[in-house]
Structure 1
C-alpha cells in the first residue's frame, strides 16, 4: 500500500487556500466560524498552528508533550498573508511526513499518547477540512473537499465510526458534531482514535486501521514491510473480518487485528488479534499466525503473551480463548508458553456450544486474575 499521507495533506491545504482566497477581501474577524466560538480569522490561524505543531512533533520525535513553541503573525498581516502562512505550514508538515520513517511514533495525547506519520497526516487533514468547513459556514460559502480526503481521515483515525459508503464527507461532518445523518443520533462529544501499539519483547504489535485492513484483504501489504513470504493467508482473512465489522459499524478498534513488527528491522512477521469484542461475560477469542520464514524463534509466544496481558488488565475482559488444530503442536506450544491451558471437556462443551464435535480443534483458555479468583 503506497503511503499517500503527504499527498493528502497537500490536497487538503490546497483546497482550503483555494476556497478562502475567493473571500480574502472580506473581514474575517467580524464573523464567527460556524458553531465555534472563534471568529473566522482566528480559526484560519488555528489551522496553521495545528499544521506546524504536528510537523514539529514528527520532526522532533517528541515523546512526552508538544514541542514547546508557538507561532505568531506579524502585526498587520492581512488575509492573503494568513493564507500564505497556512500554505507554508502545510508544506513544512508535508515535508516532515515524507521524511519520517514509518516506524517513528511521536506524541499526541489522544487516545494512546502517540501517532505515526499516517496518523498525524490524518489529524492534520481533519483539522484543515473541518475548520475550512467552519469558516465557509460563517462566511456563507459552500465547501466540499475532494472525496478521498474525508475517506482517508475516516479509515485512519475514525475506525469506530461506520461511514456512509457514498458520502464520506457527510459522515465526517456528522462524526464531529457538524452535521446530521438519517437514522443516527446527533454527536455532541467526539474524539478521533489513532491506532494502538503494544510493546511485545522483540516486537511491537501495531493496530491495523480500516484502510490497512482493506489493502491487506485485497492482497496488498497494508503499508507494512514484510519478511519474505508475508503476509500469511490467516492475516489476510483476519483483515477481511475486521473490515466487515468496520463496514457494519460494530468494529471496536482495540479488539481488531494487530501486525507483529520486529524492533530490529521494522519488518512485519505475522498477524495477531481478536475475533471481535468481548461478549457480555467478558470472553474474547484470539488468533495468530506467523510468516513461515519467521517461525521457530518465539515471536508468536511473545506477541500472544503481551496481547493477553494487555487484554486481561482491562475491566471488560475476564477470559481469553484460542482454538488450535489438534495436530498443530507448534501452535499449541505457543498458547501454552503464553499462559493458556487446554480446556476440559466440560469447558469445551460450555464455551463452544457443541461445535466441532469431531475434536479437530482444541480449545485453550487463559483466565484473568479476577476470573481465576
Structure 2
C-alpha cells in the first residue's frame, strides 16, 4: 500500500467520473448530504489534507488549511482537482521517511504514510461510488485495491472469501451495502496501526497485510537487522494471518514490530496471543534477532507494552510462559515487573498485574 495504489485509485475514479461528466452533478451523492460536485470536492480536499499531515509533520491537530473548487467549476474541473491532489498525495507518500507519522484522530491520534495511503485510496474508491451510484454509472474497482484497503485499515472485518467479494465487503464495512450473514452497519470506523514509544524502541503494530508478508518470508515493509526477523517473529506473523483470515483477529491484540528509533531498523517482534480472556488475562510473547540481543531492547519494549496493556479496560494481568532453559527471557520478564507463578506444564510462568 503506497503511492502506486493511490495513483491506481485516482485513475479509476477519473475513468468512472469522466463517463458521467455530462450529467447533473447537483443531485445528492448516494446516501450523503452532499451533491455529487461537493463530494468530488471532498475527495480532493481529503487527498491534499492527507499529504499536508505528512509533510507538515502534524502532531496533534489537522494542518489548518483546506481547498475548494473555484466558483463556477463543473464536473470536469472537479475531476482534474482529484487527479492533481491524488498526484500530490502519492508523491508525498513515496518521499516520506520511515517512522514519520501525522495526526489523524482514528483511532490512536496518528497514522504513518502507509495508513494515509490506505485512507486516501478508501476515500477515492468509496466517494467515487457515491457519485457514480447517484448518476447511474458503474464504479467497481480492481479486486486487489479493495483487498489491500481491507487488510491495511479494516483488520477487524472478516475478509472476503473470494476475489469477487472484495468490493462488496468494502462497501459493507463502510455502511454502504449488505452481505449475507452480516448485519448492515450504521456506524463504522477504520483502524490505523498503533505505535507505542519505548525509549530506544518504538513498538509498531503489524497490520494484517504486513503480517501476511512476514509469514511467507517477506520483510513486512520493514528494514531488518542482520539475521532478522527471527523464527519466532515469523511464527507470530503466521498466527496473526490465521486469526485475520478466520475473522477473529482483534486490532491492538496482535503483533508489534520492535523498531530501533535511531535508524529505523527492526530488531524483533513482540505482542499478544490474542485479546484478554474472561478473567482479564493476556499472554505476551517476544522474539529478537540474534544481533539485537543483550542490548536491553526487549526489556524496554516489554515494560512499555505491559504498561499500555494494563491500562486498557478489561485487562487485569499479563502472562509470559517461558521454557526453563531460556534464562535470558526469564531475566527480561523479571526486570519488567513479572513474578513467577505456578508452572504451565513443563514451562515457567510469570505474571505482571495491574
**Shared fold by TM > 0.5?**
yes
- The worse-fitting range, judged by mean Cα deviation, of 253-262 and 31-40 is 31-40
For residues 133 and 170 of structure 1, the distance between their equivalents in structure 2, rounded to whole angstroms, comes to 12
Shift of residue 75 of structure 1? 2.1
Contact preservation (8 Å) 2:16, 2:138: no
Shift of residue 14 of structure 1? 0.5
For residues 214 and 68 of structure 2, the distance between their equivalents in structure 1, rounded to whole angstroms, comes to 43
1:233-244 equivalence runs, <5 A: 233-244=231-242
Shift of residue 143 of structure 1? 1.3
**SS at 1:273 equivalent:** strand
For residues 134 and 217 of structure 1, the distance between their equivalents in structure 2, rounded to whole angstroms, comes to 36
For residues 117 and 77 of structure 1, the distance between their equivalents in structure 2, rounded to whole angstroms, comes to 31
2:291 to 272, 290, 293: 293
Name structure 2 gaps, 5 residues minimum: none
Shift of residue 78 of structure 1? 2.0
Max Rg structure: 1
Shift of residue 82 of structure 1? 1.3
Is it true that 1:25 corresponds to 2:22 in the alignment?
Answer: yes
Is it true that 1:63 corresponds to 2:68 in the alignment?
Answer: no
- The worse-fitting range, judged by mean Cα deviation, of 69-78 and 233-242 is 69-78
1:219-238 equivalence runs, <5 A: 219-238=217-236
Is it true that 1:5 corresponds to 2:5 in the alignment?
Answer: no
Matched residues, number: 352
Partner of 1:371: none
Q: CA RMSD in A?
A: 0.9
Partner of 2:167: 169
Partner of 2:50: 54
Shift of residue 72 of structure 1? 2.1
For residues 68 and 169 of structure 2, the distance between their equivalents in structure 1, rounded to whole angstroms, comes to 34
Off by >3 Å, runs of 4+ in structure 1? none
Shift of residue 79 of structure 1? 1.4
**CA offsets, 1:303-355, max 9 Å, x none?**
11011000011121101111111011111000101111111x3xx4xxx4xxx
For residues 145 and 39 of structure 1, the distance between their equivalents in structure 2, rounded to whole angstroms, comes to 22
Is it true that 1:160 corresponds to 2:156 in the alignment?
Answer: yes
Shift of residue 301 of structure 1? 0.5
